[in-house]
Structure 1
């Protein structure tokens, strides 16, 4: 298996258009299993590739629905791009393609990079709806969303690369009319090699990761997920601890639960000890006027519905002394 998972820098570049990513993957290869390669690709993408590297990878993709760009694309991963968009193209018409083109232009004008989505298995109308919804995001949030979509694409391509034993050019003819989503059912995704719930903290007041913050994860027992009624409230159940961690220098928490490809449906709570974090900042700054943070703790409660049990939930915290924001990432 080790020989199968020793790929060239071009192979890694075909999986992800970032030269930094490709160089790092070559440096730490070979890999003994697909899961190991997936795990390391995820770590490199989020912890070693910088924003210019992300943008380089984004730029390697043709615009969603741009048939002419797909036809002219000369890179060795051209048929992968066509394959990934095959469902979207087969379900599109002139009106949808025109609307996709117009929204793509608006998106690029706002964010500075092309709209990126893991299109495998998605219809053109679904992609258009996602594009419109994401257009309202703040630029810093949308950059992270796009990076997460790029990592999904990388993981699917890596699974196909392993299936072929390397060389993304080897059998591109057979891929032209096959969607990657069909093949990917036979391979573990990143969700199977990482905890189903993850988080990170960004201190937006300083533009730095929120490091050294205690994080705990709990589940609410006694409620039926997905059912809303006046009789169900937090008091109807009890919080049960699942895991505890402290964010590292990149603001990312350690594992809060065991790695798995599935999670039980239910109501979950992430709690961040933000008061202690700001107390440390106050003490280290030596500025008497700095009063620390307003929130001693921040709790983020969210629900995993029965239809979402095979999904991954990344729930970041964007923190400031007198406000905070959270969203569902990937």
Structure 2
């Protein structure tokens, strides 16, 4: 699993990113557009490093607020909370939004209801500047996870495309083999095999066997030996 992940993170993808790729990653259109313009990236590490620089050093506050406009993680966690906790979580969701003006963002898994409730209570005591910084860091963790999922999907699509391209090449290769076979089949006897094939003895050296070996190209030699093998083992 770890070796596959490392290989995936280093794999270079050919196509540029598109708007639809960021649909489930971030609601910040400005951030997404700059990521698209900078693509394709040489690896997941490259994409994540560029995204970190863009998010923390070059993005304006509005880009952050746009990203925060998604559904509150506290509100989503309510569906996983026991009935006795739901009302309290809903109240804190409203209090947080009223104080800071944006939705509560956290990278804590939504089914960890108690942890999220404790987190929002603690962060509610922050100033707007401090909480904005924390929310931005939590949001970037979500963006990084989204990039991992996106890279994995694109890598799989890339492998599938390469496999399809390879399948298209195989028929051409087979046609080339048929041409060689037709050349070799000249002079076949009534049994459908050349006399030189029938007289070839694997226990002898090439000089001890009488067959048209001299002057053959490497490709013809390979084809000739393949025919020998087929004659000996497939048509006893």
* Bin of the TM-score, shorter chain as denominator length: 0.5 to 0.7
Q: Tell me the distance in 2 between the aligned counterparts of 1:166 and 1:58.
A: 28
CA contact (8 A) 2:92 2:121 kept: yes
Q: Secondary structure at the match of 2:27?
A: coil
User: Which of 92, 105, 108 is 2:97 aligned to?
Assistant: 108
Query: 2:41 matched to 1:31?
Result: yes
Equivalent residue runs for 1:134-145 within 5 Å: 134-145=123-134
Which residue of 2 is the match for residue 160 of structure 1? 149
Q: Tell me the distance in 1 between the aligned counterparts of 2:148 and 2:23.
A: 14
Which residue of 1 is the match for residue 17 of structure 2? 7
TM-aligned CA deviation for residue 5 of structure 1 = 6.5
Which residue of 1 is the match for residue 30 of structure 2? 20
Q: Tell me the distance in 2 between the aligned counterparts of 1:4 and 1:66.
A: 39
CA contact (8 A) 1:5 1:165 kept: no
Change in CA separation of 1:156 and 1:13 when aligned onto 2, cut-off 3 Å = same
Q: 1 or 2, which has the higher helix percentage?
A: 2
Q: Tell me the distance in 2 between the aligned counterparts of 1:39 and 1:29.
A: 13
Equivalent residue runs for 1:1-330 within 5 Å: 1-3=11-13, 6-59=16-69, 61-66=70-75, 89-90=79-80, 92-120=81-109, 123-165=112-154
Aligned Cα root-mean-square deviation (Å): 2.2
Change in CA separation of 1:27 and 1:108 when aligned onto 2, cut-off 3 Å = same
CA contact (8 A) 2:68 2:105 kept: yes
TM-aligned CA deviation for residue 89 of structure 1 = 4.3
CA contact (8 A) 1:65 1:97 kept: no
Q: Which of 137-146 and 119-128 deviates more?
A: 119-128
CA contact (8 A) 1:7 1:166 kept: no
Q: Tell me the distance in 1 between the aligned counterparts of 2:14 and 2:108.
A: 27
For the pair shown, the structure with the greater C-alpha radius of gyration is 2
TM-score, with length taken from structure 2? 0.57
Q: Secondary structure at the match of 1:133?
A: helix
Which residue of 2 is the match for residue 177 of structure 1? none
Structure 1: gaps spanning 5 or more residues: 68-84, 168-330
CA contact (8 A) 1:12 1:25 kept: no
Q: Secondary structure at the match of 2:107?
A: coil
Q: 1 or 2, which has the higher strand percentage?
A: 1
CA contact (8 A) 2:28 2:63 kept: yes
Q: Tell me the distance in 2 between the aligned counterparts of 1:127 and 1:166.
A: 33
**Number of matched pairs:** 146
CA contact (8 A) 2:25 2:146 kept: yes
Q: Tell me the distance in 2 between the aligned counterparts of 1:160 and 1:37.
A: 12
Structure 2: gaps spanning 5 or more residues: 1-10, 157-236
TM-score, with length taken from structure 1? 0.41
Change in CA separation of 1:36 and 1:110 when aligned onto 2, cut-off 3 Å = same
